[in-house]
Amino acid sequence: MSSNNTRLWTWHVLAGLILVVLLGLHMFGMHLNDLFHLESLNPEGGSPIDWANVAARAQAIGQVVFYILFLGFALYHGLYGLRNILLELNPSEGMAKFISRGILIAGVILFAFGTWAAIAARSTALAAL
Amino acid sequence: MPEIKQYPNKLGLKGWVVGGKWGPERYLYTLHRVTGLGILLYFVMHIFVTATRSISQELWERTMAGVSGTFFLVGEYLVFVAFAFHALNGLRLALIELGVLTGPAEEPIYPYKSSLNVQRPYMVVMMILAAAVVLAGGYDFFIATGH
Amino acid sequence: MSNENEKLQNFIFRVRRFDPGKDSEPYYEDFVVPCGPGMVVLDGLWYIKEHLDPTLSWRSSCRMGVCGSCGMLLNGKPHLACHTQVRDISKDILLVAPLPNFNIVRDLVPDLAPMLEKHRKLNTRIIREDIEEVLEPTDQYWQDPEDLTAYLQFAYCIKCGCCMAACPTLATDDVYSGPMPLTQGYRYLIDTRDGAFRERAKLLSSEIGPWRCHYAGECSAVCPKGVDPARAIQLMKRELVWDLVKLGKRRHQKPVGLLPKENRATERREGIAEAPEFTIEGATSPAE
């Protein structure tokens, strides 16, 4: 149990600050679209979850990069926070190790799956054109 | 010397909820945890739900139809509210925890003022901003027609 | 005197009792205590001990907010009993309980030993490499007023444990050091006479460091000495993070004295008294 908490925590805060920007953009595009219309996120007009808009976003390479970065920072920030809460519940040393490893593995799997989804969505959207 | 029996008096998980609570920061601490866990739960589900777009347009549209309706709309709005709070309160916390909004050490002179007093105006500003975002989201979720 | 008596008002002291010899659970017992204006909770406890129940136990010493012995939970909030006037916090009933997050030894006596053990683990003392200078000082340790201000506030701590009782993380967590030890850790981390920043930074990057503080702020809200542990912990995080990303001004241990080395005394100056003999058997130097 000698993880460098200074480093882990610094990344947690950094990821949080980056997320304010990335998640902020995402929320503007998805849920404040009627107030502030962002043309590049919803080029086809209408609802942000209409297939036309989804496909337009999915095939833009910038959006794919955005999604993968967003996914990584959000998973790190969220899962580090979850780990913190669980470790503060005073688990035994073995349990604490199990929690840390379990969360790390879950994070890697979710990141791999999400990255695959972002890349595969591009092919699907391009094929549907 | 014989072992003296002691009574364990840790507040336990109850202490996270009912312990303390003498300043608004204590409530924000609780709310920050709750909203964080809520957003994380939504986020993990969100990864799987939105991954359907990678399979086909048909599956995507079927999934979106499945998560529409008042229940999901209100649920999603709650996540939006949680985001607005967690992001703006998190911004305050980041500035505090990096020692920006705590103010430097100073000699304690009665009646004592602490870092809580230094950061409180920023806390008020952040909460007003969060409320504004929540209202804007409410307009977009429930009133504007485009949704 | 009769005037004084007219000002007395009966308060109910609802005191949490626990006798390890016969009780399995703590329970509350009521005592009626006549309280005059200006009377502090500690006076009330003495009244109970002298007139109502001599078995009531608590810890107190200086009765003027200096020794840090009488931290208690008064109407649900940690305070010093000697420092809190009954009429300020109660109208009729006053709940008196031992500080939570510590084991109860008996009645209002908490076991502060785990807190002091955490305090010790953080090397809360000046550590220097030039051990000869520590043992045989040739000059004063000079500090600017700013150097002093950086840690002075945190040096007012009396280790009463009120902050530890208020910290939500400590309600569950045994590993986290908590506000008092971390504040003292920061007090030495930032001291320009100290020369062990590297070792301290390494120690504080472990689980006992400041990373499980999330600024609920309750430690600073209850501190009876205005020490502001929450501030110390955030400033500690800043020092450690700035050091990690190499943005920090590298703290240098300041040299001893401002005089050039050749002008400094090499022997003890006349008229300066010798240090007293060690009182602990086997001790050889203050640095140990």
Q: Is residue B110 part of a domain?
A: yes
C192 vs C254: CA distance, rounded Å: 6
Of C99, C156, C215, the CB nearest to B96: C215
Q: Are residues C133 and C197 in the same domain?
A: yes
Q: How far is B136 from chain C (nearest CA, A)?
A: 29
CB A48 within 8 A of CB A42: yes
Q: Is the pLDDT of residue C287 over 50?
A: no
* Strand pairing class (C71-74; C93-97): antiparallel
Domain spans of chain A?
5-128
Residue C31 scores a pLDDT above 60: yes
Q: Which domain holds residue B65?
A: 23-143
Residue written as token pair 């036309």: A52
Chains that touch A (3 or more CB pairs under 8 A): B, C
Q: Do A110 and B44 touch (CB under 8 A)?
A: yes
pLDDT at B26: 94
CB C169 within 8 A of CB A90: no
Contact: C149, B105; criterion CB under 8 Å: yes
Contact C143, B47 (CB under 8 A): no
Is residue B71 in a domain?
yes
Mean predicted lDDT score pLDDT of chain C:
89
How many angstroms separate the CA atoms of A74 and A89, rounded? 23
Q: What is the per-residue pLDDT for C254?
A: 66
The pair of three-digit structure tokens given for residue C217, joined into one six-digit string: 């702020």
Q: Compute the average pLDDT of residues A84-102.
A: 96
- C124/C108 Cα distance (integer angstroms): 28
**C100 and C143 part of one domain:** no
Q: How far apart are CA B94 and CA B88, in angstroms?
A: 10
Radius of gyration of chain C (CA): 23
**Does position C119 have pLDDT exceeding 50, yes or no?**
yes
The average pLDDT across B49-75 equals 93
Higher pLDDT, C141 or C210: C210
Instruction: Indicate whether C118 and C233 sit together in one domain.
Output: yes
C255-C261-C267 Cα angle (round to 5): 105
Quick check: helix, strand or coil at residue C13?
strand
Question: Residue A46: which region, alpha, beta or left (left: phi > 0; alpha: psi -120 to 50)?
Answer: left
Q: Note whether C197 contacts A: Cβ–Cβ < 8 A.
A: no
Point out the domain boundary residue: C110, C125, C150. Answer: C110
Interchain contact, B53 vs A24, CB within 8 Å: no
What CATH number corresponds to the domain at position C177?
A: 1.10.1060.10
Where is C31: in which H helix or E strand?
strand C27-35
B9 falls within a domain: no
Are residues C128 and C93 located together in one domain of the fold? no
CATH code of the domain covering residue B61: 1.20.1300.10
Indicate whether B8 belongs to any domain: no
B-chain residues within 8 Å CB-CB of A89?
Answer: 13
Q: Does C10 touch chain B (CB under 8 A)?
A: no
Domain contains B29: yes
Which residue range forms the structural domain that includes residue C193?
113-244
- Nearest residue on chain B to C238, alpha-carbon basis: B98
pLDDT tier for residue C276 given thresholds of 50, 70 and 90? confident
What is the nearest CA distance from B56 to chain A, expressed in angstroms?
7
Proportion of chain A in helix, strand, coil states, percent, rounded to 5: 75, 0, 25
Whether residue C126 sits in one domain with residue C188? yes
Q: Is the dihedral angle over the CA atoms C272, C278, C284, C287 positive or is it negative? A: negative
Residue C277 is predicted with a pLDDT of: 76
Provide the ipTM. Answer: 0.92
C218 shares its domain with C143:
yes
* Per-residue pLDDT at C266: 64
Same domain, C35 and C134: no
Q: Please tell me whether residues C89 and C165 are part of one structural domain.
A: no
CATH match of A5-128 with 1.20.1300: yes
Alpha-carbon gap: C166 to the closest alpha carbon of chain B (Å)? 6
Q: Domain check: are C216 and C106 in the same one?
A: no
Residue C285 has pLDDT above 60, yes or no: no
In a shared domain, residues C236 and C199: yes
- Please indicate, yes or no, whether residues C83 and C135 belong to a single structural domain of this protein: no
- End position of a domain, from candidates C56, C83, C110: C110
| pLDDT at A46 (0 to 100) | 80
Residue C262: predicted pLDDT? 64
Rounded distance, CA C49 to CA B29, Å?
40
Domain total in chain C: 2
**Is the distance from CB of C90 to CB of C11 less than 8 angstroms?**
yes
Q: Encode burial over C69-87: b for 16+ CB neighbours within 10 A, e otherwise.
A: bbbbbbeebbbbbbbbebe
Last residue of one domain, picked from the residues C110, C135, C156: C110
